[in-house]
Amino acid sequence: TAIERDFIEKIIELKKEKGYTILAHNYQIGELQDIADITGDSLQLARLATEIENDKILFLGVDFMAETLKILNPSKKIIVPTKGSTCPMANSLTPEIIKEFKEKYPEAPVVLYVNSTAACKVYADYTCTSANAVDVVSKIDSDIVLFGPDKNLGSYVAEKTGKKVIPIPGDTGYCYVHNRFSAEDVKKVREEHPDAKIIIHPESPKEARDLCDYIGSTGQMMKFPETDDAKEFIIGTEVGMIHKLENTFKDKKFYPLKELAICNNMKKNNLKNVYLSLLNEEHEIELPEEIMEKAKIPILNMFKIME
Ligand code: 13P
Ligand code: SF4
C-alpha cells in the first residue's frame, strides 16, 4: 500500500542519515527482511555482528538474539523496535534451575541453546545454535551434558551424538511454534505434495522429524534447495522463512508445513515501530557489565570448539 511504501522510504532515509546497519532474523515479516542489510539464522547473525564495522545496529528479532549481539559487541549501540519481543522458550529456563541441575550432575558440562537469557548463559560452559548443536556436543570431551532449554533439540542432539543429554528445565522447555508439528501434519502434506521434499527445524518433536527428508536450522534450510533437484519443498518452521526461500529460489515452490506456524514475538516488529525506532534511536539493549563478561565465555567457547 501507499502507506507501507511511505514507511519503507522513510526507514531507508533514516537508516542512512543516522548510520545504522539493520540485521534481521529469517522469521521477520517479508517487508522487514527486504529493508534489512543482512538476514540470517541466529548463528549467522551472531557471527556477522562481530564483523560489522558500523557501531550502530538496529536488530530485528527477539530479545535473546539482541542480547547476544550486545554481549559480543559491548561497545556498539544495539537498538530494537520493541522490548516486548521475547522468546517464551528462552524464558522457561532460569539460573536457579541450572544451579539445581548442576548440583545433581556436577560432572556434566552445561550446553545452552542461544535461545536462552544472558542471565542463564552466565552458568553455561558452551552455547550452541540449531545449526551447530550436534557439532558442539559431539566435540565436547564428556559423554554426558546438561542441555537446555529446548527438549526437542536436546533429543535430536542425543540421537545424533549418542551422548547422554539431560534436558533442562525438562518437559516445559520447547518452542510453541515448532512443538506443534505432529507426525499427522507431516503425513498429510506428504499426501498432498507427494513429490515435495519436507524439511523441518530440529526444534520440532521427534515423531515429526523422523518422517521428514531434511532437518536443519533456518540458515541450513536456505542452502538445502540448492543441492536438491526437487521443485517443491514443504517448510517445517516459522512461516517467515517462506519469504526468503521464495525470493532466493524463484523456480521452486515452497509451502508451509502449517500455515499457522507463527511466532507472535517475531511478528511484533513492523514498519511503523521500525521507523519510530530509527527516528528516536531506541530501545537500546543494556546489560550489566558483569553479566556480559560471564555470558560471553560460553559463546566464545562455541566459536572456538567449532574451529
Ligand atoms: P535458527 O534461525 O538458528 O534456526 O533459530 C530458529 C529459532 O527458533 C530462533 O528463534
Ligand atoms: Fe522462541 Fe520459537 Fe519464537 Fe524462536 S520461533 S523466538 S524459539 S518462540
> Residue 46 above 90 pLDDT?
no
Residue in 82, 178, 263 to alter for ligand 2 test, most ligand atoms within 8 A of Cβ: 263
Q: Please state, in angstroms and rounded to a whole number, the distance separating the CA atoms of residues 80 and 174.
A: 24
130 lines ligand 1 (CB under 6 A): yes
- Say how many Å lie between the CA of residue 225 and the centre of ligand 2: 23
All three cell numbers of 39: 538476514
Domain edges within the chain = 2-86+266-280, 89-174, 183-256
Report DSSP letters for 195-227, one per residue: T-EEEE-TTS-HHHHTTSSEE--HHHHHHHHHH
Tens digit of each residue's pLDDT (9 = 90 or more) over 162-206: 999 999 999 999 999 999 999 999 999 999 999 999 999 999 999
Strands 253-256 and 232-236: parallel
Question: Are both 2-86+266-280 and 89-174 of the same fold?
Answer: yes
Is the pLDDT confidence value at 49 over 90?
no
Q: How far apart, in whole angstroms, are the C-alpha atoms of residue 38 and residue 246?
A: 17
Residue 42 has pLDDT above 90, yes or no: no
Could you tell me the distance, in angstroms and rounded to a whole number, from the CA of residue 156 to the centre of ligand 1? 15
Among 69, 53, 60, 65, which residue's Cα sits nearest to residue 19? 53
pLDDT digits (tens, 9 = 90+) for 98-108: 999 999 999 99
Residue 126 dihedral angles phi and psi, to the nearest 5°: -140, 150
May I ask the CATH class of domain 2-86+266-280? alpha beta
Q: Answer whether CATH 3.40.50.10800 is correct for domain 89-174.
A: yes
Q: In the CATH hierarchy, which fold is given to the domain comprising 183-256?
A: Rossmann fold (3.40.50)
